[in-house]
Amino acid sequence: MKTLLLAVAVGLLALRAGIGAPVGNEQARAKLEAIPMNEKVRLSNDEWRKILTPEQYAVLRERGTERPFTGQCWNPHQTGTFVCAACGNPLFGSGQKFESGTGWPSFTQAMASDRVTLSKDTSHGMVREEVSCARCDSHLGHVFRDGPPPTGLRYCMNGVALRLVQTQTATFAAGCFWGVQAAFDHTRGVLKTTAGYTGGHVPNPTYEQVCTHTTGHAEAVQVEFDPAVVSYTQLLDLFWTIHDPRQKGGQGPDLGDNYRSALFTHTPGQKAQAEASKAAQEGPGKAPITTEITPAGPFYPAEAYHQHYKSASCGLPRR
């Protein structure tokens, strides 16, 4: 049986100690920031008014439309991820953006089908498809079927409803990926987590294959984060607290190379930070750290039933 007690319980204690804690004393914003990114956001209109600017509130919560060529995201050329300005839900990648000439930011598709919801809008004497954020139900804009190939769609969004984030990616292996993912899901600044397999030699492995210990893969979690909110060093600090990096060949009763402790680094900077962080964990009289530090290779998302899994054994409901 997989064990979540160490991974989740200790991780959440670390979060309460300060990792990813909301900044400032504004109660409504603190409430929003405490909601894991994979969970639905339900706030009152009064709470949203305290969080959003008047312009954002008029568009996001009152279904307004900004004047063209005025929104902050209508024509940025930077790369990154466009997130919901209300709740931070990642919505569109910069590679999906195109210049439509309308004065509103336009995209060919959303990052994933579950990031937005579509509904019929009959306001203003027209029939249109309204686009809303799937996480917080905020109004974003409309989608039209006059876009470029390959989708033929034009997601016409209000710039004030979006925020461009220069995201980074990190990959962690610390035993059973259920608990690891749960811990990072509760970290402020983490926009997306994916449980999966990496570090081995078999392409597109299944869970059953990985469990045979013949693929070389570790159960891991890939984390997309906003470095302006949480640093890679802070994520490393959390990583050390949610498992025992001194145990060799598994975690707790979960034994085997697929449960090993490992850091898969995506940049030379991450490698240097990971090595320094690992060295800081060493000390006289302590068993050596077994954590591997290797360059990140192909990452294969795990099956859908493994994503954001919450075990009743640690008092959390299964999603």
**Catalytic residue positions, numbered:** 156, 176
Q: Look up residue 223 and give its amino acid.
A: V
Rounded-to-integer distance, Cα 171 and Cα 223, Å: 6
Q: Are strands 81-84 and 90-93 parallel, antiparallel or unpaired?
A: antiparallel
In this structure, what token pair is assigned to residue 19? 């990792």
State how far the alpha carbon of 107 is from the alpha carbons of 142, 148, 187, 304, in Å.
11, 9, 29, 26
| Residues pairing with 173 in the sheet | 262
Closest by CA position to 267, among listed 193, 164, 171, 165 = 171
Which runs of E-coded beta strand occur in 145-268? 154-157, 162-165, 168-174, 190-198, 218-225, 250-251, 254-255, 261-265
Rounded-to-integer distance, Cα 254 and Cα 277, Å: 25
Write the CB contacts of 284 (distance below 8 Å, at least 6 apart in sequence). none
Closest by CA position to 227, among listed 186, 171, 168 = 168
In this structure, what token pair is assigned to residue 127? 């029939």
In this structure, what token pair is assigned to residue 34? 């405490």
Rounded-to-integer distance, Cα 264 and Cα 8, Å: 21
Element (H, E) at 299: strand 299-301
Which residue has 């006059």 as its token pair?
146
- Which DSSP string corresponds to 88-157? --EEEEGGGEE--SSSS-EESS-SSTTSEEEEEE-GGG--EEEEEETTT--EEEEEES---TTT--EEEE
In this structure, what token pair is assigned to residue 77? 């050329």
